[in-house]
Chains A and B, each alone.
Chain A
Amino acid sequence: MLALEGVRKTYRGSEVLHGIDLRFDPGTTVVIGSSGSGKSTLLRLLAGLELADAGRVVAGAGVLGPENLIAHRRRLGYVIQEGGLFPHLTARQNAMLMARYLGRNVGWTRRRLETLAGMTHLSAALLDRYPAELSGGERQRVALVRALMLEPEILLLDEPLGALDPLVRFELMPELAAVFETLGNIVVFVTHDLGEAAYFADRLVLMHDGAVAQSGAFEDLLERPASDFVSRFVRAQRPRREDRPAPAA
C-alpha cells in the first residue's frame, strides 16, 4: 500500500507539487516528466526523505510523519542516479551495511547477497572492490542489490540508468525488468526518458509543472492524450511501441 493524498510541497517559497493524488499498486509505475516537473520531489516524499506540507503520504507504516519515517525507510529500497554507494565501503560492505546494523543472521545475509548478486551478474571478486574501482553499470547493479537486501515492499528508483552510456543501459534494462518481475512488489521508477518509460511501465504517470498531466497505460497517453501538453510530450520523443527492446532470453 502506497499512496499520495492531496500532497503539496513548497521549496523556498514556491510550490513544486500542487496537490497530488496517486495510488501505487504492485507492479511498475513509471513517473515521467521533464526536469522541474516535480517527479523527483514526488519520489523523495515516497522515500520519506521529505515530509508533505499538506495532504498525506500513506504507506504500510501508516500516514508518514516524523515518528515512523525510519520504520518506513527500512521497508523500501532506494536507488539513485549515481547509485549513492558509500566510497569508504566495498560493494559487499555497502550491500550488507543495513543487515549488519540490524543484526540480521549472518548466514541469511550471506545467502541473500549471493542470490541477488546472481540475479544482477555480480561476481564475488567484484563485490570486494570499492565503488571507485567499479564501472558505472556495476555500481548501479550493486546499488540495486543494496536496495533489495532486506526484501523491501517498495522499490524506488530515481533515474537509475541516467548516467550510464547507451550500451550499458541497453544491457541493464532487461535485467532490471526481470528483477521487477521476480519481486512482484511496488516499483516506482522515475525517468525523463520516454523509451525507458515505455519499456518498464505497467502504468505511467506524466508530471507537468507540479501536477499529474495524465496517468494510465502507455497506449492511453499515446492514443488518448488528456491535453495538448501530453500529446506534445509523447510526440517529442517519438517512441514507437515496436521499438521497445525485447527482454533478453
Chain B
Amino acid sequence: MMRGVLILVAASIATAALGATQRPSVVIGSKAFTESVILGDIATDLARQAGAGTAQRRELGGTRVLWDALRHADIDIYAEYTGTLAREIFSGRGVADSRPALAAALAGEGIVLGPPLGFADGYALAMRAERAGTLGIESLDDLRRHPQLVLGFSNEFMARGDGWPGLRRTYGLPQTDVRGMAHELAYRAIASGAIDVTDVYTTDPNIRAYRLALLRDDRGFFPSYAAVFLWRADLAARAPQVVAALQGFRDRIDTGAMRRMNAAVQLDGVDDRAVAADFLGLAPAAASADSLWSGLALRIRQHLFLVAASLAAAIACAIPLGVVAARRRVLGQVILAAAGMLQTIPSLALLVLMIPVLGIGGPPALLALFLYSLLPIVRNTHQGLVNIDSALSDSARALGLPPLARLRLVELPLALPSILAGIKTSAVINVGTATLAALIGAGGLGQPILTGIRLNSMPMILEGAIPAVLLALVVQGAFEMLERALVPRGMRRRRSHRAG
C-alpha cells in the first residue's frame, strides 16, 4: 500500500513537470462566460495567424484566477475590462479609472494594457423598447418623471456601490417598488410586464431577443467597462509578431458585433470557435473530432487522476499525522485544529489561494484537494487509535512488543475500520470537490458543468454532473468492498467482549 502511494505521488509530480516542459509558445485564457470565451478564441486566432503555437485555458473561474494566472505566467493573454481593472484588480490601491493610470499600474506588474477592442460591456438600465417609446423615456434622467415604474434588478446590482444605491442618489430616482431577482428571471419578468426596468450588460444578446431599449447615462454614472486584451510584457521577446497583431487589433469590435457574436453562441448554439473565426473572416477551425464518449472518457480520466493522486498523498500524510496526534496530546490538538481549519476554507477559495504559488491547472488543484482530504483521515486515525480498549493496549505492551511493532501489529489493525471510513469519506468528498478544479483549469468532470452553466444548457451540465455522481457512488462501493476484504472477520461483528 505504502509503495502504491509513493508511485502515485511520484506520477503526479512527473505529470505536472511534463506538462510544464511541453508549454506552447503562447497561452490564451478566458473567463467562464461566453463573451470572454469568444474574445479568447479571437486572440488565439490572431496569435496563430501571426505564426505562433497556441494553447487555450478556457473557462477559468473568475477575474482573480485569470489575473493570478497571468502574473504567474500560466497564461500570456486574456481579455479584461477597464472597469474591472480599476474596481476589482486594483481596488483599494487608488488607481484612477483612466487608460494612462491603468497602463502604468499594469506595467508595474509586468503586464501590458492592449488597445481598446472597440466596445464596452458595462451596466445599463433597459426597458421594453415599446413601453419606453410610449412613455417617452430615453435616458436615466427621464425616469424621474415616472415614479410609478416597477424596477427589478439582479441581486448583485442591488448590492454594488456602482449599482442601484449609487444610481438612485446620482439621478435622484423616486421609484419605491424595487425588487431584487435572479438575472435570468428579470428578462422574463420584463417581457411579461411584471417589471418595467432592469439592469443589463450592454453586450447581452437578450437585449435584442427581448427587444429592449438601453437608457442613456447622461451623467456618466456607470463606469466604463471597455474591453481590452492584457498580455505579459515578456511576450514581446518571445513572440513579437503576436504582440504586433494584438497592438494592431484596435477598435475592431463594436457593441453590435459583440452582441451578435454572443447571440450566435448563446441563443443559436453555434460553436464559439466558429463564431470567432467567422468574425475574423477565417476558415472555421476543424471541429474537434472528440465524440461525446471519448471526451467523457478523457474527463473521467482527468477527474480520477485528480482524486486518486490527491487522495494517495493525503493517505500517506494523514495516517502518520493521526498517529502522532494520538500519541502526543497537545501536538494532537494542534494537528486536528489545523486540519479542521483547512476544511472550513470554502473549496473555491482554497483553489484560488493556490494560484499565486502554483499557478493554474493540475498542481494547485491537486494540492487543494490534498489539503481537503486530510481532515477526515487524520481525525479517524486519531479516533481509531485513541478508542482502542486500554486492556488491549496493555496486553500488547505486556507481551513485550516495542512501540513501532505494537503500532503495526496491533494498534493500526484495530483502528483500521475507522481509518478506512475516514479514507472513504475523503474520497467521496474529493470526487465532488474535484468538479470545482475545472475553475482553475485542471479539467475533469467540472468542465462540461461550467460550459453548461455558461450556455444555460442542461444536457451539458448533466454530461458532467451524472458521471460525477456515478463516480462518487462507484468510489463509495469500491471502498466498502475494500473494507470487507481488509477488515478481518473477528472485527466485523463488533460484539462486545465486556460482560460487566
Residues in chain A within 8 A of chain B (CB atoms): 44, 47-49, 70-74, 76, 78, 80-90, 97-98, 101, 130-133, 136, 139, 146, 156, 163
Shortest C-beta distance, A16 to chain B (Å), equals 17
Indicate if the CB atoms of B410 and A86 lie closer than 8 Å: yes
Name the B residues within 8 Å of A98 (CB-CB). Answer: 399-401
Indicate if the CB atoms of A84 and B490 lie closer than 8 Å: no
In the assembly, what is the distance between CA of A70 and CA of B392, in Å?
17
Indicate if the CB atoms of A88 and B391 lie closer than 8 Å: no
Interface centre among A76, A86, A130, by most B CB within 10 Å?
A86
Which one of B394, B405, B413, B493 lies within 8 Å of A132 (CB-CB)?
B493
Name the A residues within 8 Å of B490 (CB-CB). Answer: 87-90, 130-133
- Check: B113 CB closer than 8 A to any chain A CB: no
In the assembly, what is the distance between CA of A88 and CA of B392, in Å?
11
Q: Quick one: given A73-B400, A88-B491, are A78 and B395 in contact (CB under 8 Å)?
A: yes
Indicate if the CB atoms of B392 and A89 lie closer than 8 Å: no
Shortest C-beta distance, A232 to chain B (Å), equals 26
Q: Which residue of B lies closest to A77 (CB)?
A: B398
Name the B residues within 8 Å of A81 (CB-CB). Answer: 391
Indicate if the CB atoms of A86 and B395 lie closer than 8 Å: yes
Indicate if the CB atoms of B495 and A80 lie closer than 8 Å: no
- Check: B167 CB closer than 8 A to any chain A CB: no
Name the B residues within 8 Å of A101 (CB-CB). Answer: 401, 405, 409
In the assembly, what is the distance between CA of A133 and CA of B495, in Å?
9
Indicate if the CB atoms of B394 and A49 lie closer than 8 Å: yes
Shortest C-beta distance, B433 to chain A (Å), equals 33
Q: Which residue of A lies closest to B496 (CB)?
A: A132
CB<8 Å pairs between A and B, sample of 22: A49-B394, A49-B397, A70-B400, A73-B397, A81-B391, A84-B391, A84-B392, A86-B414, A87-B491, A87-B497, A88-B487, A88-B490, A97-B399, A98-B401, A101-B405, A130-B489, A132-B490, A132-B493, A132-B495, A136-B499, A139-B497, A163-B499
Shortest C-beta distance, A125 to chain B (Å), equals 15
Name the A residues within 8 Å of B160 (CB-CB). Answer: none
Q: Quick one: given A88-B413, A97-B399, are A82 and B497 in contact (CB under 8 Å)?
A: yes
Indicate if the CB atoms of A130 and B488 lie closer than 8 Å: yes
Indicate if the CB atoms of B488 and A80 lie closer than 8 Å: no
Interface centre among B400, B402, B491, B494, by most A CB within 10 Å?
B400
- Check: B93 CB closer than 8 A to any chain A CB: no
Indicate if the CB atoms of B400 and A87 lie closer than 8 Å: no
Indicate if the CB atoms of A86 and B392 lie closer than 8 Å: yes
Q: Quick one: given A82-B391, A86-B392, A101-B409, are A132 and B398 in contact (CB under 8 Å)?
A: no
Shortest C-beta distance, B211 to chain A (Å), equals 74
Name the A residues within 8 Å of B493 (CB-CB). Answer: 132
**Top 8 closest A-B pairs, CB basis?**
A130-B490, A84-B395, A74-B400, A73-B400, A78-B398, A88-B413, A163-B499, A88-B488
In the assembly, what is the distance between CA of A139 and CA of B399, in Å?
17
Indicate if the CB atoms of B391 and A73 lie closer than 8 Å: no
In the assembly, what is the distance between CA of A44 and CA of B494, in Å?
28
Indicate if the CB atoms of A88 and B400 lie closer than 8 Å: no
Q: What 1/0 mask marks residues of chain B from 384 to 404 whose CB sits below 8 Å from any chain A CB?
A: 000000011011111111100
Name the B residues within 8 Å of A87 (CB-CB). Answer: 392, 414, 490-491, 497
Q: A76-B398, A80-B395, A163-B499 are in contact. List 4 more A-B contacts (CB 8 A).
A: A78-B395, A80-B391, A83-B497, A139-B497
Q: Which residue of B lies closest to A149 (CB)?
A: B399
Indicate if the CB atoms of B414 and A70 lie closer than 8 Å: no
Indicate if the CB atoms of A82 and B498 lie closer than 8 Å: yes
Q: Which residue of B lies closest to A84 (CB)?
A: B395
In the assembly, what is the distance between CA of A71 and CA of B495, in Å?
34
Interface centre among B395, B397, B414, B487, by most A CB within 10 Å?
B395
Indicate if the CB atoms of A97 and B409 lie closer than 8 Å: yes
- Check: B500 CB closer than 8 A to any chain A CB: yes
Shortest C-beta distance, A67 to chain B (Å), equals 13
Indicate if the CB atoms of B497 and A131 lie closer than 8 Å: yes
Q: Which residue of A lies closest to B410 (CB)?
A: A86
Q: Which residue of A lies closest to B413 (CB)?
A: A88
Shortest C-beta distance, B331 to chain A (Å), equals 21
Shortest C-beta distance, B243 to chain A (Å), equals 67
Q: Which residue of B lies closest to A75 (CB)?
A: B400
In the assembly, what is the distance between CA of A49 and CA of B394, in Å?
7
Shortest C-beta distance, A22 to chain B (Å), equals 20
Which one of B399, B495, B499 lies within 8 Å of A73 (CB-CB)?
B399
In the assembly, what is the distance between CA of A146 and CA of B397, in Å?
14
Name the A residues within 8 Å of B495 (CB-CB). Answer: 132
Name the B residues within 8 Å of A49 (CB-CB). Answer: 394, 397-398
In the assembly, what is the distance between CA of A82 and CA of B488, in Å?
20
Q: What 1/0 mask marks residues of chain B from 202 to 245 whose CB sits below 8 Å from any chain A CB?
A: 00000000000000000000000000000000000000000000
Q: Which residue of A lies closest to B395 (CB)?
A: A84
Q: Which residue of A lies closest to B403 (CB)?
A: A70
Interface centre among B402, B410, B491, B493, by most A CB within 10 Å?
B491
Q: Which residue of A lies closest to B489 (CB)?
A: A130
Shortest C-beta distance, B397 to chain A (Å), equals 6
Shortest C-beta distance, B415 to chain A (Å), equals 10
Indicate if the CB atoms of B498 and A84 lie closer than 8 Å: no
Indicate if the CB atoms of B413 and A84 lie closer than 8 Å: no
Shortest C-beta distance, A78 to chain B (Å), equals 4
Shortest C-beta distance, A10 to chain B (Å), equals 19
In the assembly, what is the distance between CA of A138 and CA of B392, in Å?
17
Indicate if the CB atoms of A132 and B400 lie closer than 8 Å: no
Interface centre among B394, B402, B413, B490, by most A CB within 10 Å?
B490
Q: Which residue of B lies closest to A152 (CB)?
A: B400
Indicate if the CB atoms of A132 and B497 lie closer than 8 Å: yes
In the assembly, what is the distance between CA of A154 and CA of B54, in Å?
79
In the assembly, what is the distance between CA of A80 and CA of B396, in Å?
12
Shortest C-beta distance, B419 to chain A (Å), equals 13
Name the A residues within 8 Å of B491 (CB-CB). Answer: 87-88, 130, 132
In the assembly, what is the distance between CA of A211 and CA of B20, in Å?
74
Shortest C-beta distance, A150 to chain B (Å), equals 9
Shortest C-beta distance, B284 to chain A (Å), equals 64
In the assembly, what is the distance between CA of A180 and CA of B18, in Å?
69
Name the A residues within 8 Å of B402 (CB-CB). Answer: 70
Shortest C-beta distance, A49 to chain B (Å), equals 6
Name the B residues within 8 Å of A73 (CB-CB). Answer: 397-400
Interface centre among A72, A88, A101, by most B CB within 10 Å?
A88
Q: What 1/0 mask marks residues of chain B from 420 to 456 whose CB sits below 8 Å from any chain A CB?
A: 0000000000000000000000000000000000000
